Amino acid sequence: MSESKFDHLTEEQLDTLYAQYMAGEKVAKLLENWAIDLSPSMFIRAFPAKACDNLACPYCQVSMFQRRRSRQPYQWRNEPAFCKRCQHLQHFAERYRETPVCNCPPCLVIREQARRQHEADQRERVLAACAQASHPPVRLAILGIRLKLYLMALLDTCLDWREGTLRRVTALRGDACLTPTPELDALLIRELHEAHVLLADPMSPLSAFEDGPTPVPHLDKVRWQLNIALGDAERAVATQVYRALHNELSCGPLPAWRETLAEAIETLAVEEVYSFLQARCDEHDMPLHPWKKSREVIGELVKTRPVCQLWALVTTAVNNAVTYASRAGISKTQASNTLPNNLLRYEQRATEEQWRFKHWNRNSTRRPRSALSKVLHGLLLKHADHGTERPLAVYLQALPGAVEHGCPACGSLLVHVQARPEELVINCKDCIARSVLPGTD
């Protein structure tokens, strides 16, 4: 745009010319009458900006200018005022749904200073919150077996041996994973954090904390500090805790851990199957809509069949759901709703027709093995099949302190036995029967 075409006109003449333009005069006639050598299409673009009497640049303290509006109906807004020295823009908020941001050099400097000040204030709040939330080291000996398994899995996956620090779970690469599912990852870290085994590192990135007066750490983004003591009251180094835990768990399970280990084995089996179901759905771009019911169904199926056989049933169910969506002309979301019932139906058919699952194992499915599985089935229980190729009852029966009693009603070994002085109470987890037998000395 060139404003030099209007240099021969005074300010009053420019106002008169603009009034004639807004009144509807043809641009070509105006250019001829006012002796302006310009293309009609460039008339309003090249028209000199008008000084704003009551608006000065906050940085240069000089009057700002504003270009004039076109008479076209689509020109519904005013042009922003601008400074000819620093190019600062003053937008009019009432004309926009959202006020644009000026990117002139002075505004960029001010915003950068405000950002740094906000980060400094937020860092002070984080340091104060972490100082208030600090706790004395927790002795490793008083931790339960559940927390020891969780801590060992976390160290096995996230421990940086060179730096002696813990990496974030979200920073894992390749097939490395803490547990089979993100939900179990969050539960593991939350329990360790609530037990004060893990403390948030106050020097973590500010994005790892909620931005507010009370910064709360995001469990999946913050860096963690290990808060464990071995023999004395001093906080131990992460590598020392790893070696102590490894030596303890490698000695095998104790009878007092039976119930906790049984629950951990069952939970891990459910998560193994559910993660496989989610992975198969993702391969076919199928959203797993009935996730809650799917978990419930898998929780029932793991009590009767090994994990590897359930992987085969999941593969059949997902493939048939994709075929059903293609042939019936329905969405994949609607087809995914059939997965829970189909899993139950295929399990019943497999039992009646005696399906063979000879070649199904972790190697055939190329499933990555989680750190929790390595610690539980590998380091502690010494299972060569990684807890996937035998029924759940077999693993429970092999635990130390296993009861020799079964359910009198259905014969299941998935029972909880409560020994009393004069009687023996057997609660079956399969048929939900409660049996009372005479006590034995």
Tokens of 63: 């009057």
In a domain, 175, yes or no: yes
How confident is the model at residue 441, as a pLDDT?
Answer: 44
Greater pLDDT, 216 or 423 = 216
Judge if 57 and 168 occupy the same domain.
no
Judge if 431 and 343 occupy the same domain.
no
For residue 298, pLDDT beyond 90: yes
Strand ranges for 147-290 from DSSP E: 159-160, 165-166, 198-200, 224-226, 228-229
Q: What are 231-272's pLDDT values in tens digits?
A: 877 888 999 999 999 999 999 999 889 999 999 999 999 999
In a domain, 409, yes or no: yes
Identify the burial level of 30 via C-beta atoms within 10 angstroms of its C-beta, where 0-12 means exposed, 13-18 middle and 19 or more buried. Answer: middle
Judge if 342 and 381 occupy the same domain.
yes
Orientation of helix 339-353 relative to helix 307-328, angle to 10°: 120
Identify the burial level of 194 via C-beta atoms within 10 angstroms of its C-beta, where 0-12 means exposed, 13-18 middle and 19 or more buried. Answer: exposed
* Residue after which a domain boundary falls, among 209, 231, 251: 251
Judge if 319 and 432 occupy the same domain.
no
Q: What does DSSP say about strands 63-66 and 50-56: parallel, antiparallel, or unpaired? A: antiparallel
In a domain, 239, yes or no: yes
Judge if 69 and 141 occupy the same domain.
no
Residue % of the chain over a pLDDT of 90:
38
How confident is the model at residue 401, as a pLDDT?
Answer: 73
Dist CA 149 CA 260 (whole Å): 11
Q: How many domains does the chain have?
A: 4
Q: Are 179 and 188 in contact (CB under 8 A)?
A: yes
Orientation of helix 258-283 relative to helix 182-194, angle to 10°: 140
Tokens of 396: 């429970």
Count CB-CB contacts under 10 A for residue 360.
Answer: 20
Judge if 227 and 184 occupy the same domain.
yes
Judge if 216 and 265 occupy the same domain.
no
**Residue 65, beta-bridge partner list:** 51, 82
- Burial pattern 416-425, b for ≥16 Cβ within 10 A else e, equals eeeeeeeebe
In a domain, 174, yes or no: yes
Judge if 179 and 141 occupy the same domain.
yes
Q: What does DSSP say about strands 138-139 and 228-229: parallel, antiparallel, or unpaired? A: parallel
Query: Could you tell me the pLDDT band of residue 94, with boundaries at 50, 70 and 90?
Result: low
Q: Are 17 and 30 in contact (CB under 8 A)?
A: yes
DSSP, res 206: G
Dist CA 436 CA 423 (whole Å): 7
Nearest 5°: the CA angle 227, 135, 142 is: 60
* Residue after which a domain boundary falls, among 220, 251, 282: 251
Judge if 336 and 362 occupy the same domain.
yes
Judge if 386 and 409 occupy the same domain.
no
In a domain, 36, yes or no: yes
Q: Give the domain range for residue 52.
A: 3-95
Q: What are 61-73's pLDDT values in tens digits?
A: 888 888 877 777 5
In a domain, 110, yes or no: no
Judge if 261 and 242 occupy the same domain.
no
Query: Could you tell me the pLDDT band of residue 1, with boundaries at 50, 70 and 90?
Result: very low
In a domain, 370, yes or no: yes
Q: Are 425 and 436 in contact (CB under 8 A)?
A: yes
Q: Are 155 and 254 in contact (CB under 8 A)?
A: no
* Residue after which a domain boundary falls, among 355, 371, 392: 392
Lowest-pLDDT range, 199-213, 242-256, 359-373? 359-373
**Residue 159, beta-bridge partner list:** 166
Judge if 264 and 332 occupy the same domain.
yes
Select from 231, 197, 258 the least CA-distant residue to 403. Answer: 258
Q: Please, what's the largest Cα pairwise distance for the chain?
A: 121
Q: What is the mean pLDDT of residues 227-231?
A: 89
Query: Could you tell me the pLDDT band of residue 431, with boundaries at 50, 70 and 90?
Result: confident
Dist CA 193 CA 195 (whole Å): 5
Q: What are 30-82's pLDDT values in tens digits?
A: 887 877 877 777 777 778 888 888 888 999 988 888 887 777 755 556 678 88
Count CB-CB contacts under 10 A for residue 139.
Answer: 14
In a domain, 309, yes or no: yes
How confident is the model at residue 426, as a pLDDT?
Answer: 83
Helix-strand-coil split of the chain, %, nearest 5 = 50, 10, 40
